């Protein structure tokens, strides 16, 4: 074991065993852990969402009760509608899959790209907000912009490394901090309400007075706009609700029940904390203090009359757990974001490499991309919450609206077959009206404040996705003439008389070993080219195929077994073809996440069995090959060739022009 592999095992962890019967159980999340890993984003938004809404009232603080009611209604409706999405799409995919299947693939791309942007900003704003909460515990002289930016950048790097170890491992790490946050803020809200029960009549009079004064000064429409503006400012509260439907493959079986239970945990906790904080802000007449979050001001004010040791302990526990929870919230971005990217990669809207899994069975390329993008956002905005909050939450409501619209269309078209279609139609229909209204108000309020930047970047990403899809579609057309060989070979195999090969391959004879990836035109072209180039040279033909476990196939034990059987059938079709030509042929397969490692191991076994083995593989060659082509396509045969050369085994790569 070299030093690099040793460090990798220590930092990221050893490769998982695909033969482990408890593999999916050991990597999946029960509802409680899913609440921590996927619900932390929504719950953590209570650290900045209610604050943004409360401050957005600007002198009309008593109207916060209306905002609190609207927040509860929105959370209930969105959670209920996403529970229906979970039932309809139990394998996951969330907003991207819903829009793709129920509206159209191009609309799904818009939804998916919006989610990608949202998850990058989720990581950035969660870490930046956690940094703000952390510095609220320190002396003001420490809270410089440079220090905050450096801590936030370090936080993104640390979280990226943690998530490379695996979803479950990263969630378990944060369980104590998550529990502490829930306990401290549940207590703070209940304590604040109970100790101010006598002031509720005064609050009611204040609400009535504020409504009358605002309506008199601004009119009824002005009153509504004040509430809507504050509600829109705190729209970040609702982000993260969609994460469960996006990440269903990470949940423990039965996934639908686990997902719906997680949605209940998320909805109840988020409604209670977000609305409760708005009420307690009002009860304590909280005002902002420079350098401190509104929650920091609240708990400090709440504990002012407590014994000094108890007050200090509670404040530190509440604020430290808030900071930790905000860092935990970035987990949603690291779990959901790469999953959306992988689903789009499987459908060829994104480079296929983003569907690959590491030996820890995580979407490593996606995690690194999201970590790098979030780091770029942190550095470019200098971890400024004022700037990040403007960029945030627009994209998620694009996905919310498209998902609800897709579900509305589905229930309407399926109304003759679904007895409860009207109730489900109403839930998603109301959700569509609600989320679309928020989206319009967000774009109106935030567009000229910087929201245009979010929409611009999302638009560029959408155009890139269509460009990538166009490239893959064009490549598929070019490959079609190669694949015509498959039909011809099948006819030949059916018509040709069977010539019995030798009972078993003679290890002493010269052997041609082919690395194949499915029974396709590329593999057949490579095989026929070798037969033509080296007539009567090889007596044995061996075909090796690696079934690559990626985000599209790692969805359960049955899917893994299906992948193994599919790879075996493809390799055996080559062997059958050569057997009918009178040659001795064998098929060997392996399953893994790294095609080079698995193929190298297979080649090593074959080389030991057949000392006179010569390895062959085909490589597509494009007329105008550049960086983009190399990035979008698999060039692993060259890496495998280097590996075999190091072991002393010859390998010839045949160029196949398209």
pLDDT digits (tens, 9 = 90+) for 175-202: 888 999 999 999 999 999 999 988 888 8
The yes-or-no verdict on residue 490 having pLDDT over 70 is no
pLDDT (mean) for 628-656: 85
The string of DSSP codes covering 593-635 is S-HHHHHHHHHHHHHHH-TTEEEEEEEEE-TT--HHHHHHS--
Q: CA-to-CA distance for 277 and 183, rounded, in angstroms?
A: 14
Q: CA-to-CA distance for 402 and 567, rounded, in angstroms?
A: 37
The yes-or-no verdict on residue 448 having pLDDT over 60 is yes
Phi, psi of 251, deg, nearest 5: -90, 155
Query: Is the separation of the CB atoms in 457 and 117 below 8 Å?
Result: yes
pLDDT (mean) for 482-498: 60
pLDDT band at residue 496 under the 50/70/90 scheme = low
Question: Where are the chain's structural domains?
Answer: 24-94+121-387, 472-657
Tokens of 159: 């979280």
The yes-or-no verdict on residue 302 having pLDDT over 80 is yes
Q: What is the pLDDT of residue 5?
A: 67
Q: What is the pLDDT of residue 109?
A: 96
Q: What is the pLDDT of residue 229?
A: 81
Indicate the average pLDDT of the chain: 85
Question: Residue 634 class from Cβ within 10 Å (0-12 exposed, 13-18 middle, 19+ buried)?
Answer: middle
Query: Is the separation of the CB atoms in 157 and 371 below 8 Å?
Result: yes
The yes-or-no verdict on residue 585 having pLDDT over 60 is yes
CATH topology of domain 472-657: Rossmann fold (3.40.50)
Q: What is the pLDDT of residue 180?
A: 92
The residue that leads in pLDDT, 473 or 482, is: 473
The yes-or-no verdict on residue 23 having pLDDT over 80 is no
pLDDT (mean) for 19-39: 76
Q: What is the pLDDT of residue 361?
A: 74
Q: What is the pLDDT of residue 166?
A: 78
Query: Is the separation of the CB atoms in 132 and 385 below 8 Å?
Result: yes
DSSP state of 15: P
Q: What is the pLDDT of residue 324?
A: 85
Ranges of H-type helices in 136-254: 145-165, 167-194, 200-233, 243-246
C-alpha closest to that of 109 among 442, 512, 460, 456? 460
pLDDT (mean) for 586-601: 89
The yes-or-no verdict on residue 43 having pLDDT over 90 is no
Q: What is the pLDDT of residue 450?
A: 80
Least trusted range by pLDDT, from 120-134, 376-390, 533-547, 584-598 = 376-390
Residue-wise pLDDT for 536-575, tens only, equals 899 999 999 998 888 777 766 667 788 889 999 999 999 9
The yes-or-no verdict on residue 487 having pLDDT over 70 is no
Query: Is the separation of the CB atoms in 497 and 458 below 8 Å?
Result: no
Q: What is the pLDDT of residue 107?
A: 95
Q: What is the pLDDT of residue 485?
A: 64
pLDDT (mean) for 298-316: 92
Residue-wise pLDDT for 260-269, tens only, equals 999 999 999 9
The yes-or-no verdict on residue 24 having pLDDT over 70 is no
Least trusted range by pLDDT, from 81-95, 292-306, 599-613 = 81-95
pLDDT (mean) for 90-94: 76
């Amino acid at each position: 074991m070299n030093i690099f592999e040793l460090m990798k095992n220590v930092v990221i962890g050893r490769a998982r065993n695909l033969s482990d019967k408890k593999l999916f159980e050991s990597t999946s999340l029960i509802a409680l852990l899913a609440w921590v890993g996927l619900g932390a984003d929504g719950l953590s938004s209570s650290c900045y969402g209610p604050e943004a809404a409360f401050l957005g009232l600007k002198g009309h603080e008593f109207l916060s009760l209306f905002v609190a009611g609207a927040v509860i209604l929105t959370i209930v409706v969105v959670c209920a509608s996403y529970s229906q999405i979970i039932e309809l799409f139990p394998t996951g995919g969330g907003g991207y899959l819903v829009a793709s299947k129920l509206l159209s693939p191009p609309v799904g791309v818009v939804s998916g790209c919006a989610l990608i942007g949202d998850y990058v900003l989720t990581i950035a704003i969660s870490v930046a907000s956690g940094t703000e909460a952390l510095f609220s515990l320190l002396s003001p002289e420490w809270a410089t912009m440079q220090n905050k930016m450096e801590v936030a950048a370090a936080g993104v790097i640390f979280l990226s490394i943690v998530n490379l170890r695996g979803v479950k491992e990263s969630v378990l790490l944060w369980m104590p901090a998550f529990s502490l946050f829930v306990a401290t803020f549940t207590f703070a809200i209940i304590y604040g309400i109970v100790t101010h029960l006598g002031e509720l009549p005064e609050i009611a009079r204040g609400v009535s007075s504020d409504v009358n004064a605002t309506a008199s000064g601004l009119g009824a429409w002005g009153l509504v706009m004040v509430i809507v503006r504050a509600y829109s400012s705190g729209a970040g509260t609702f982000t993260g609700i969609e994460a469960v439907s996006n990440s269903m493959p990470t949940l423990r079986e039965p996934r639908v029940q686990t997902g719906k239970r997680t949605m209940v945990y998320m909805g109840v906790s988020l409604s209670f904390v977000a609305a409760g904080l708005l009420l307690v802000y009002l009860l304590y007449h909280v005002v902002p203090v420079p350098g401190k979050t509104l929650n920091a001001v609240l708990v400090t004010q709440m504990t002012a009359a407590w014994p000094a040791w108890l007050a200090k302990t509670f404040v530190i526990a509440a604020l430290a757990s808030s900071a930790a929870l905000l860092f935990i919230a970035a987990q949603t971005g690291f779990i959901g974001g790469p999953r959306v990217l992988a689903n789009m990669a499987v459908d060829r809207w994104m480079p296929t490499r983003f569907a690959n899994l590491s030996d820890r069975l995580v979407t490593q390329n996606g995690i690194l991309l999201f970590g790098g993008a979030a780091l770029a956002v942190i550095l470019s905005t200098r971890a400024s919450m004022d700037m990040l909050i403007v960029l945030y939450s627009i994209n998620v409501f694009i996905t919310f609206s498209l998902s609800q619209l897709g579900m509305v269309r589905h229930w309407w078209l399926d109304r003759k077959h679904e007895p409860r279609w009207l109730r489900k139609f109403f839930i998603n229909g109301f959700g569509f009206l609600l989320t679309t209204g928020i989206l319009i108000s967000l774009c109106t309020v935030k567009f000229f404040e910087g929201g245009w930047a979010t929409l611009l970047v999302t638009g560029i990403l959408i155009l890139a996705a269509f460009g990538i899809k166009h490239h893959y579609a064009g490549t598929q057309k070019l490959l079609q003439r190669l694949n015509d060989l498959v039909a011809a070979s099948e006819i030949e195999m059916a018509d040709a008389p069977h010539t019995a090969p030798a009972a078993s391959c003679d290890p002493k004879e010269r052997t041609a070993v082919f690395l194949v990836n499915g029974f396709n035109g590329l593999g057949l072209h490579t095989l026929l080219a070798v037969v033509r180039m080296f007539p009567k040279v090889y007596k044995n033909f061996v075909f090796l195929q690696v079934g690559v476990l990626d985000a599209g196939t790692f969805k359960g034990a049955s899917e893994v077994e299906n992948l193994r059987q599919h790879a075996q059938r493809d390799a055996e079709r080559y062997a059958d073809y050569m057997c009918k030509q009178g040659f001795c042929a064998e098929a060997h397969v392996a399953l893994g996440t790294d095609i080079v490692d698995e193929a190298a191991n297979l080649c090593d076994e074959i080389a030991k069995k057949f000392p006179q083995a010569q390895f062959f593989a085909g490589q597509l060659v494009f007329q105008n090959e550049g960086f983009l082509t190399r990035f979008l396509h698999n060039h692993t045969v060259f890496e495998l060739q280097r590996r075999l050369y190091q072991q002393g085994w010859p390998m010839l790569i045949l160029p196949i022009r398209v």
